[in-house]
Amino acid sequence: MRRRQPPLLAGAALVAVALCASACGGSGAGAGPAGSAGGEDHLTIWSQWLKGQPGQQFLQAAVDDFQKQTGIKVTVQWKGNAVVKSLLPALNSPDVPTDAVETSASQIQNVLYPAGGMADLTAAYQQQVPGTSSTVAQVVGPAATSLATPVDASGQPAGGPVVVPYWASATGVVFYNGQNFPALANAAPKDWDAFFAILDAQKAKNRRPLAQDGSVTSYNAVFYNDFLASVLGPDALNKAETDKTGQTWKQPGYLQAAQLVERLAKGGYFTEGYDASKFPEMEDKWANNEADFNVNGSWLPSEVGPVAAPGFDYRSFVFPAVAGHPAPPLNVTVSGIGVLKSSKHQAAAEKFAAFLLQRGYQTQVATKMQNIPIAAGTPAPAAVEAVKQAIDAGQINTVRSPAALADYNAKIYFGLDDKLVFGKLTAAQFIDAMSSDSADYWKTKG
């Protein structure tokens, strides 16, 4: 089964949150009160995984081991991507249907936390990870902790962390087939001048080198977001979006980033038909060597695995810098265990969260889940080892987009960015439209 993992763009995540907050239904029927079958030694978890997925198999094995070692009975309900949607209606009921939820931090922070249902896990971060001399806080690290902590309307941290993460994923990762570009293994392009040279060499062979699924708006936005983060810093987009005059968009760096997107769109770099394609058509073409590179998320290898050409050697490097500027920090999200505020078994849930941070389970995140372990120094799968190195070095984007911008992104930014990526707007037209539409948007807000 192919599983669409959540895009990591802050704006995109917030759009999903806004849609969910207004449309979420479901009843959580059949779950029963958390822990109702076993008192203090019975823990219930709702998980984002479905039976048979690598993540489910990993987590079930960990649960089995946890039960054996602690005597705490654990019931897991495999809810899939609907886990948060299913839980929200019952989150604050007297008899909550679960003690903990296992999903992405962005979902917990942006949907469940604002509804008032999630526990502050500051104290849980001070507990010792079994079999180590380290605390949860030390294993998770400050950068990932910041990604597990809600923010207020201005994007600043609000309270303590509400998730104990055990794995990470990232966007802005450039994937390629190592069989076709062996020299890149030790010489990834440091900036886009070098990368354009590689792309131009492929174009000279009548290739359209960059696969791009144009139907996924958040994937399209990666280019402008990361070009802008390189030129002006990771908080530049938030600054422009929250400027009620719209004039920030007129600063030169915003145009420079747009010109790079325009160059990609009008220069024949994207795979033929990308602007009218339906996901996952273009990434499937890439996985069958019909395109050379794919700027995507760290989940891509596992996602295209069933349809990829035999022997495809997944390799990657992080989004290069704009020449003359620092590289954009990697956009990372984390996933793990959140504990319900009204759970009667918070201590057991926190204990299980720490249990997943043991070295052995962190290694299995890479070997069995094919994902990125949260613990520094634990190797990731070869396909995303460059991503893991960037995460361990703290080169990640911790700037948070406030929830208030979800509506802005849905109504203003993503639509205009799509037109820029599709070559329907020039860079100058994009900037003019962002400036004027932003001013109009904020006027309507009063």
pLDDT for the residue numbered 7: 43
- Asked whether the beta carbons of 103 and 162 are under 8 A apart, the reply is no
User: Would you give the distance in Å from CA 122 to the centre of its chain?
Assistant: 23
Phi and psi at residue 135, in whole multiples of 5°?
-85, 165
Give the residue ranges of DSSP H helices in 312-412: 346-355, 359-367, 385-392, 405-408
**Average per-residue pLDDT in the chain?**
90
* pLDDT number for residue 23: 28
Secondary structure letter of residue 327 according to DSSP? P
Band of pLDDT at residue 40, cut at 50, 70 and 90:
low
The rounded percent of the chain whose pLDDT value lies above 70 is 91
Residue 21 per-residue DSSP state: H
Residue appearing with tokens 């997107």: 261
pLDDT tens column, 144-173:
999 999 988 777 888 999 999 999 999 999
Helix (H, G, I), strand (E, B) or coil at 175: strand
Q: Which residues pair with 171 in a beta bridge?
A: 331
- For residue 65, pLDDT over 50 is answered with yes
Per-residue CA distances from 363 to 313, 315, 330 (Å): 21, 20, 22
The mean per-residue pLDDT over the stretch 321-344 comes to 96
**Structure confidence by residue, pLDDT tens digits, 223-253:** 999 999 999 999 999 999 999 999 999 999 9
pTM: 0.86
- CB proximity list for 375: less than 8 A, separation 6 or greater: 139, 140, 357, 359, 362
Phi and psi at 410, nearest 5°, equal -65, -40
Residue pair 334/110 in contact by the 8 Å Cβ criterion: no
State yes or no: cis peptide before 161, omega within 30 of 0: no
Kindly report the CA angle at 425 between 269 and 200, in degrees rounded to 5? 15
pLDDT single digits (tens) 173-231: 999 999 999 999 999 999 999 999 999 999 999 999 999 999 999 999 999 999 999 99
Starting at the edge strand found earlier in the chain, the sheet holding 293-296 runs: 210-211, 293-296, 173-177, 314-318
Amino acid at 10: A
Structure-token match 């019975």, residue found: 42
pLDDT at residue 155, rounded to an integer: 78
Contacts of 238 (CB under 8 A, 6+ apart): 155, 399, 401, 402, 405
Q: What is the C-alpha to C-alpha distance for residues 222 and 37, in angstroms, rounded to an integer?
A: 46
Do residues 419 and 168 make contact, with C-beta atoms less than 8 angstroms apart? no
pLDDT digits (tens, 9 = 90+) for 248-290: 999 999 999 999 999 999 999 999 999 999 999 999 999 999 9
